[in-house]
Each structure stands twice: as structure tokens, then as C-alpha cells.
Chains A and B, each alone.
Chain A
Amino acid sequence: MTPPTLVAAASPHLVAIPISTGMATALVALLMLTHIQFAAFQQGGYIILAVTDFIGWKGKDARKDRFSKGLVTVLGATFAFGSTLAIFATLILFLGLWSQFFVELVRIMFWPLIVEAIAFVGEIICLYTLYSQWDKLGRVRPLRVGLELLLFINASIQMLAINVVASYMLTPRPSNSLALNLLNPTEIPLELHRFVGNIAFDGAMIALVGGIRLLLAKGPEGKAYGDWIGHYGLVYAVGFTIAQPLIGWEYAKEIQLHAYASWYSMMLGGLSVAFLFQVFLLGAIFTVGIFYLWRRVRASGFRAPTLAVCAALSFASWLLIATPSSLAWSYEDVVAANANVPIWQGGLIIPWGQMIPFKLVALIVFTGVAIVAVTVYLKHVSKGELRWGDAGRGQAAALITVAIAISLMMALMGYIREHSRAPFLITDKVLINQQQNFNPPSSAGPALDGPAGVGIIMPWDSGP
């Protein structure tokens, strides 16, 4: 049977969907960025659900039980919407608008995508069992927590599979070996970056709910619950974001080694300004987050001088060295300003990864200060010094701000990652403007005619 791509290639009468490349790209980007936010919320939410339900069970904490039940309800609803987006993306946008790309992707990543589909079914079974039988499962608590862990494992397998695809698009290996393409140079860095980022993102969304509840609460009980939710989410959000600069740094180093053009575009070229805005948003997350920690302890009547110092340090760092206004927009600007000499000669270049120094210093300060701040804050919590319900409108605003900043950061990161490959959809393999002309993908050609049938890479295939 002739593969469909060949039919398309051999039939000049077939016409592309009448939509410009720019419009198609915008549609795909909008849908995928939205889908990523939902997917991140699901994956991070499952582990927070399992942890919260477990410690609620062991600590006999009714508030955590209530929170877990609320979270599973929200996760059930967001899963339905997020997966609808994914199916819509696959069926309509990828097949309709980016068919060349999708055929090439399925050819190479057939098995990871199959694994993802199986894990997706596992996620549905676990999630809707929990969603519909929550109270009944509560009678056998180990089973419920076990099911939550299984749910998390299913979601993690899906994330792993899709990260294989996403990392392959940036740093493909010139080989038909499935193993080499699975563990391509940026797979593990992306995996870690997203794993940690998803938990931070989910924490931020929980903090958002806490902030809104705080603002809308009518009575002391509602305010106390909103206050606790906000605190609980923010600890995850700021705590896990701490690891991101270091993982991101290592991720960037791998991109530098294996996809230099993309790295240059992100760090020194046209996307440099977007990356600087990322650091600005990171500064917002840390500064506003630490400010919240300090003011939250103060709201319960404790001075917390260490937290005040942390907030001041973070703010100073944000103001002075992480704001885009104090940085060059791109390396070309640095060269134009004759500042492309080492920092000890009055320039902007340091020997540490060719990054503009302010950005690096800011990341180091944010990370160090945030570790101290979270530790000190948790010490106050462990001593039972915080009374839930003491938080005011300022803390609520801080929670909402952190959530918006993390959400924006995730969307911007997606934008940077996808644009760094331009003009390719798969680096050096598939061009973005090939999508509507129905030519067979350049690298798929020989494989389509070869003995492997439609050219799907099998686990036992190896070599170039």
C-alpha cells in the first residue's frame, strides 16, 4: 500500500489548506502554549495531590484532606479540557496545517508516541477512578495514595515521551538509532527542567486560588483556608523554582554544544531580549515570592529580620541587574558599544559560558537568597508561629502576581524554544515553510521507499 505522503507528493491537484504559514504558526503556537499550561498543571498537580493526601492521612490533617479532594476535582476538569486541546491540536492543526512535520515526527518517534498513548489511557483510568470514587477510596487510604502515585507515573511517562519529541526537534541525532534519538543531547536537561517547572507551576496555580480566595473570603474560616492554600502553593512555587536556574544553565550548555545556532539566537541573538525578559520574570517570582514570605510571617506578629534582608537583597538584585533596561539587547549591541571585551577590561564578557554577567549574577543571587528565605520561612511554620487567616490583601496580591509571572514565564519559554530553531521545525531536517507545499520531507524520502515500509524507526534499528 502506498504511504499517504507519497500520494500527496505525487498528486499536484491536491491543494494546501488556504492559510498562510504565519497564520498556521500562530494558530499552532496559541493552541500548544495553552495545552502546555494545562499539561504542566496536570503533571505537577498529581504529585502534589499524592504528597498532600499522604501527609494529610499520616498527620490526620482535615485541611489537607479537604484540599486534596478539591484538587482532584479541579484536575479532573482541567484534564478534560487540556486533553481536548491536545486531540484538537493533533487532528486539526498538525495533520491539517503541519502534515509534513507530523509525518516525519511519527516516522521517527512512533514508539514514544505509542507509549504516550498507552500512558494517556492509564491516566484516564486512574484520574476518573479517583474523581468519581474519592470518598469510597478514602476508606482504603493506601489504595488511594497508591492510585495517585500511579496517576503521577502515567503522567510522567507521557511527559517523558513528549519531551523526547520536543528535545529531538531541537537536537536530533543524525542516525536511525531509536536509542540515540531518544536520549538525544537535550532530553534529560529538558526532562528535569519540565519536571521541576511543572511542580512550581502547579504550586503557583494553587497560590493563585489561595490569593483569590483570600480576597473574596466572607468569613474567618474561608479566609483561613484561602490563606493556607496560598502559603502551601507558594512554597511549592518558589521552592521548586530555586532549582530552575541551575538546570536551565545546564540545559543551555547542552544546546550550546549541540545546536549552536539555536543557542546563539536565544542567548546572544534576536531572542536574547526575550530571554532577558525571562530573567526579569524570574526576578519577579523570587522577589515577590520572598516578599510574601516575609510579610506573611509579619502578619502573624513576628519580625523575621532574615526574611526582610532576603527580600531586600532579591529586590536589589532584580532592580539593578535583572531588569532588561540595564542589559544589552543582543550581542550585536554589545559589539556596537565596543563592550565585547572581558569585564575586567571594562567590557561585558565573562569567561563563564559567554553570558552577559548581570544575568548570571542575578541568577546566583536569586537562587542563594531564595534557599535561605524558604528555609527560614519553613522554620517559622514548623514552630507553629503562623495563624492561618492573618494574611491581608498585600499577600493575596503577591500570590496572584507570582502565579501570573510563572504562567507568563512558561509561555515565553515556549515561544523562545520554538523560535530558536527557526527556520526549522526539526533542526536541520524539516523547514517550517515546507508545511503547506506537500513535498515529501527531505530526510524521510529514502526511508519511505526502503525496506522498512513507511520508514518507522524500530527499537532494534541502529546506525546512520
Chain B
Amino acid sequence: MSSPSQPPRSALVAKLTRPVARPLAATYRWVDERMGISDLTHQLLYEAVPRRGAWSYSLGSATLIIIVLQIVTGMFLLWTYVPSTTEAWESLNFIEHHDEFAAIVRGMHLWGAYVLLFVIGLHMIRTFVSGSYKKPRELNWIVGVILFLLVLGLGITGAMLPWDQAAYWTATVVTHVVDYIPFFGNWTQEILRGGPQMGPETLTRFFAIHIWLLPALLVPLIGLHLILLRRHGEHGSWVNYEGVESETEGERATRMAEAEYPYPAVPSDPGYAVPMDLDDFFPSQVFKDATVSFVLVLIIFVMAVVVGAPLERAANPAALNYVPTPEWFFLPLDQLLVQFPQAWMIPVGVFVLPGIGTTLLMLVPFLDRSPEREPWRRPEVMVPALFAILFLIFEALLAVNRLFNL
């Protein structure tokens, strides 16, 4: 605390920083008058969010932060990586042995992808359990599923880029699998391989898909996802709607009338347009989002430094005894393949069953149309979903055991 004879500290700080602060403030005002930064910031930060269960809502923001991290680390890798079958492996080998910073960046890109898929999975489970896909948020769920599929696509195409043994044989398997697509299989295979056989063009095509095609689809869809989120507001967890069933018409009307932006969500099931208790996005939710994102980025960094990203021997098409193992997020699919006889393996294991699963996932909002949000009152979706998740976990574990004993 300052004594009466001394000026207050804030006044002192203001006096000392005045030479810098004044021109900065003037510059900001000049830019703001022309670009409307204050209004935009206000729009972005000042909205209402559900109060209860807020930590679990940070998974969406964390996903966005990690995607940004992937873009940034990917840009750094482009400085060194050469997308050619003769130099791709050499360039990464150089990074691993002669450029410590780039090796960490490469590790962060790999572990960022792993953590991203894990966080997206948790985000989807959270959204599913809380029934957040229900009216009016059906489209946002579908966009989310497409985003998940795109990230899986980024994962598999990214795994091919090092052009080491793992990458080469992964590319071989993937381009072999697409041959089974009815009518268009051979055509698709040639498009991806750049010819009837694996060759130099295969790598450049997957490189283009990884850094241009998929991000070009991903970024606008993320924008759409956020716009839809802001339009309807965060639904949150079912705990934010406890008591809506016993609410009187008058109480509900008052709640709707007093709702802060962006609520009430319309069209909505009665009682579910506005959470019972709201909080400010800034600073309350932003703090939680930042904390979770920071922890995840820290984990990614530590894993990048401690474990790093593997690089096997350079691709050797003649090494026929090499056994390719899939990335962990494709382990359930890999295990599914061995459940079927040879003739059915790829058509059923890769296309029919995963196709049915993906379609059902997309259609969840239209299959579960009841207004009920509490998970234990929705066994018609929760029980099959529980079995589906257990099935994926079990298949992944069984795949690990099988691949370990090959």
C-alpha cells in the first residue's frame, strides 16, 4: 500500500508508460475505427454459456487449438521436407539427426495428431452423452462427424509422407484397399497412385491431399461448425436442464424472455432452449478452455521431446517380409479385417461395416428425436453406443495383441 506522500502505483505506472501508451492507444483507435476490432472482440468473447459441466465443454476449444498447432507445425516442416520419393526420407532423416528444433516440431506434429484424435473422440462422446446433437443442433453434429472423418484422412495421409518402410507399405495397403470400391475402385486407385503401380507420383498426390485438399475442406467446415455453435449457443450437459419438466408455463416464458445472447436456441424442444443457469464465456469459460488447451499442448510438447517421432528405414519395395502395422486409431479397423474370410475381408471389413457405422453416426440426431437429454433415460441410443465403443476398444486391444505376436 502506498503512503500518502507518494503517488499511487497505478498513477506512477501510467506516468511512466505514457510516452508509449498514448501512441499505441491512438494507433489502436485508428485501426478500430476502420476495422471494428472492438465490436468483433466483443461479439467473440461476450456471450452466455451453460454454467454446469463447463470443464467438459473445453474439449471443443482444445480441438481447435490443436488443429491450429498442427497447421503451424506443418508449416515449419514444409521448410525442410521435400515431397519426393528420393528425398522425402532424406529430408526427415536430416531433421532427426541434424536439426533438433525441427525434430521437436516433427514430434509435436505427430503427437499433436494423436492427441487431436483422442480429444475429438472425447468431444464426440461428450456431445453424444449430453444429447447436444438434438434440435436445433443436428447440422452441427453432422459437420462434426465430417470433421472427424477429415482428421482421420489427414492422419492416414500424413503417415505416408515420411516415405520410410511404414509409410510405403501403409500407402500400398491403402491404395490396394480402394481397388475394392465397386465400379470406381480401379479408377480411384490409379488416381491415388498416379498410375497403375506405386511410384513417385503416389507420394506427391498424398502430399497434395494432406496439405491442400483436406485442409481446404477442413478449415471452412470448422468455420461452419463455429458459426452454428454461436447461432444456437452451447447446449451443455443435461445437468443444466434439471427441473425443466416441473417448470410452469409462466416460469418457462420468463426464462426465455430473460435469456442472454445467443439464447434462446430455436427451434427447440420445450424447456431446452435456454440452460437454467448461465455463465460468461469470457473470462469464465475462456479460462477453462485455455487451461485445458495449455495442458494438452504441454503434453504434446513433452511427448515430442521425450519420445519424438519415429522414422524407419527408407522405403524398400523389395522388402516383402516387412509387416506394416497401422496407426493406433486404425487398430479396430485392422482387427475387423481379420474377422472375415479372404473374399469378404476388404469389402465387408473396410466398406460395409464401417460404412454402416459412419452412416448411423451421421444419422444419430434423426434416430434419437425424443426431447429427453438425460443419458439413462435414452437407453435406445446409449446401450448400442456403449456396445459400439466397447467393441472399438476391445478390437484395438486385440489388434495390439495380434500384431505383437506376428
Residues in B whose Cβ lies below 8 Å from that of A189: 398, 401
- Pairs across A and B, CB under 8 Å, 11 listed: A173-B405, A183-B404, A185-B405, A192-B394, A243-B394, A246-B394, A250-B335, A253-B339, A351-B341, A371-B384, A374-B383
A residues sitting closer than 8 Å to B (CB atoms) are 173, 180, 183-185, 187-189, 191-192, 242-243, 246-247, 249-250, 253-254, 258, 351-352, 371, 374-376, 378-379, 381-383
User: Within the assembled complex, what's the spacing in Å between the Cα atoms of A184 and B401?
Assistant: 7
B76-84, B119-127, B305-313, B374-382 - interface stretch:
B374-382
Given contacts A183-B404, A183-B405, A382-B379, contact A375 B397 (CB under 8 A): no
Known: A187-B401, A253-B338, A352-B341. A379 touches B380 (CB 8 A): yes
Closest to A254 in B: B402
Is B398's CB under 8 angstroms from A188's CB?
yes
> Is B400 on the interface with A (CB-CB < 8 A)?
yes
User: Which residue, of A185, A188, A253, A258, has the highest number of chain B Cβ atoms within 10 A?
Assistant: A188
State whether A378 and B379 are in contact (beta carbons under 8 Å apart), knowing that A352-B341, A371-B384 are contacts in the complex.
Answer: yes
Interchain nearest-CB distance for B65 vs A (Å): 31
- Asked whether, in the complex, the Cβ of A192 is within 8 Å of the Cβ of B398, the reply is yes
On chain B, the residues within 8 Å of A371 by CB distance are 383-384, 387
- Assembly CA distance A243 to B377 (angstroms): 22
Is residue B391 within 8 Å, beta carbon to beta carbon, of the partner chain? yes
Q: Which of B338, B343, B401, B402 has the most CB of A within 10 A?
A: B401
On whether the beta carbons of B379 and A375 are closer than 8 Å, the reply is yes
CB distance from A183 to the nearest CB of B (A): 5
Asked whether B24 is an interface residue with its Cβ less than 8 Å from the other chain, the reply is no
Judge whether B173 is part of the interface by a CB distance below 8 angstroms: no
Q: Provide the residues of chain B in CB contact with A250, threshold 8 Å.
A: 335, 339, 394, 398
Beyond the given A189-B398, A253-B339, A371-B383, could you list 17 further A-B residue pairs with CB under 8 A, ordered by the A residue number? A183-B405, A185-B401, A188-B401, A192-B394, A243-B387, A243-B390, A246-B394, A253-B338, A254-B401, A254-B402, A352-B340, A352-B341, A374-B383, A375-B380, A376-B380, A378-B383, A382-B379
Chain B residue contacts of A173, Cβ below 8 A: 405
Scan residues 58-85 of chain B and give those whose CB is less than 8 A from a CB of chain A. none
Chain A nearest Cβ from B336, distance in angstroms: 10
Residues of A contacting B384 with CB < 8 Å?
371, 375
Q: State in angstroms the CA–CA spacing of A185 and B405 once bound together.
A: 6
Bound-state Cα–Cα, A250 to B398, Å? 8
> How far is B110's CA from A370's CA once the two chains are assembled, in angstroms?
41
Complexed CA–CA distance, A188 and B394 (Å): 9
Tell me the minimal C-beta distance from A277 to chain B in angstroms. Answer: 25
Q: Are B397 and A192 in contact, CB atoms less than 8 angstroms apart? A: yes
For the complex of A and B, 4 pairs with smallest distance between CB atoms? A188-B401, A378-B379, A375-B383, A185-B405
Closest A residue to B377 using CB positions: A382
CB-CB contacts below 8 Å: B254-311 with A: none
Give the CA-CA distance A187 to B398 in the complex, in Å: 9
Interface of B is mostly: helix
Which applies to chain A's interface (DSSP): helix, strand, loop or mixed? helix
B400 in contact with A379 (CB, 8 Å): no
Q: Please, how many angstroms separate the alpha-carbon atoms of A164 and B266 in the complex?
A: 56
Please report which residues of chain B, range 352-406, place their CB below 8 angstroms from some CB of chain A when the two chains form the complex.
376-380, 383-384, 387, 390-391, 394, 397-398, 400-402, 404-405
- Chain B nearest CB from A355 CB (Å) reads 12
**In the bound complex, do residue B379 and residue A379 qualify as a contact, i.e. CB atoms below 8 Å apart?**
yes
Contact in complex: B404, A246 (CB < 8 Å): no
- What's the Cα separation between A173 and B383 when bound, in Å? 38
Interface string of B213-252 (1 = CB under 8 A from A): 0000000000000000000000000000000000000000
A253 to B402, CA, bound (A): 10
Docked CA distance A247–B387 (Å): 12
Residues of A within 8 Å of B391, CB to CB, are 243, 246
Output the least CB separation between A167 and chain B (Å).
10
Closest to B404 in A: A183
Q: Which residues of B contact A258 (CB under 8 A)?
A: 405
Nearest B residue to A182, CB-CB: B404
A249 proximity list for chain B (CB < 8 A): 339
**Least CB distance, A166 to chain B, in whole angstroms:** 15
| Complex CA distance for A379 and B376, rounded to whole angstroms | 9
CA A247 to CA B339, docked complex, whole Å: 11
A184 contacts B405, CB within 8 Å?
A: yes
B383 surroundings in chain A (CB, below 8 A): 371, 374-375, 378
Q: Please, which residues of chain A bring their CB within 8 A of the CB of B390?
A: 243
Check A188–B341 contact: CB distance below 8 A.
no
CA A186 to CA B48, docked complex, whole Å: 53
**Whole-angstrom distance from the CB of A55 to the nearest CB of chain B?**
9
Distance, CA A258 to CA B406, complexed state (A): 10
CB distance from A79 to the nearest CB of B (A): 27
Contact A382 B376 (CB under 8 A): yes
Whether B379 contacts A188 by the Cβ 8 Å rule is no
Contacts of B379 in A (CB 8 A): 375, 378-379, 381-382
The listed residue with most B CB atoms (<10 A of its CB), out of A187, A247, A382, is A382
The reply to whether B401 and A183 form a contact with Cβ atoms under 8 Å apart is yes
Chain B 308-359 interface residues, beta-carbon cutoff 8 Å to A: 335, 338-341, 343
The minimal Cβ–Cβ distance linking B388 to chain A, given in whole angstroms, is 10
Query: Bound complex: CA of A250 vs CA of B332, how far in Å?
Result: 13
CB distance from A181 to the nearest CB of B (A): 11
A232 → chain B closest CB, angstroms? 14
CB distance from B389 to the nearest CB of A (A): 12
Could you tell me the distance between the alpha carbons of A35 and B276 in the complex, rounded to whole angstroms?
53
Looking at the assembled complex, report how far the CB atom of A293 sits from the nearest CB atom of chain B, in whole angstroms. 12
| Chain B residues whose C-beta falls within 8 Å of the C-beta of A376 in the assembled complex | 380
- Cα(A298)–Cα(B390), bound, Å: 31
CB interface residues, B 98-155, toward A, < 8 Å: none
Kindly provide the distance from the CB of A362 to the nearest chain B CB, expressed in whole angstroms: 18
Q: How far is the CA of A226 from the CA of B312 in the complex (A)?
A: 61
Give the chain B neighbours of A242 by CB distance below 8 A: 387
**B residues near A184, Cβ cutoff 8 Å:** 405
**Whole-angstrom distance between the alpha carbons of A183 and B405 in the complex?**
8
- CB neighbours (8 Å) of A375 from chain B are 379-380, 383-384
Using Cβ atoms and an 8 Å threshold, which residues of chain A touch B402?
A: 185, 254
Q: Bound complex: CA of A292 vs CA of B379, how far in Å?
A: 18
- Closest residue of B by beta carbon distance from A185: B405
Q: Which residues of B contact A253 (CB under 8 A)?
A: 338-339
Q: Which of A187, A250, A376, A383 has the most CB of B within 10 A?
A: A250
A351 to B377, CA, bound (A): 42
In the complex, the chain B residue whose C-beta lies closest to that of A187 is B401
Q: How far is the CB of B87 from chain A (nearest CB, A)?
A: 36
Give min CB distance, B280 to chain A, whole Å. Answer: 28
B395 nearest CB neighbor, chain A only: A250
Nearest A residue to B383 via CB reads: A375
Which residues of A have CB within 8 Å of B335? 250
Q: Which chain B residues border A374 with CB–CB below 8 Å? A: 383
Closest chain-B Cβ to A61's Cβ sits at a distance in Å of 12
| A243 → B minimal CB distance (Å) | 6
A258 CA to B384 CA in the complex, in Å?
33
Q: How far is the CA of A189 from the CA of B383 in the complex (A)?
A: 23
When the two chains form their complex, are residues B397 and A188 in contact, meaning their CB atoms are under 8 A apart?
Answer: yes
Report the bound CA distance from A275 to B398 in whole Å.
23
**How many Å lie between the Cα of A191 and that of B401 in the bound state?**
11
Q: Give complex CA distance A174, B399 in Å.
A: 21
In the bound complex, CA of A378 to CA of B343 (Å): 39
**B371 to A: closest C-beta gap in Å:** 14
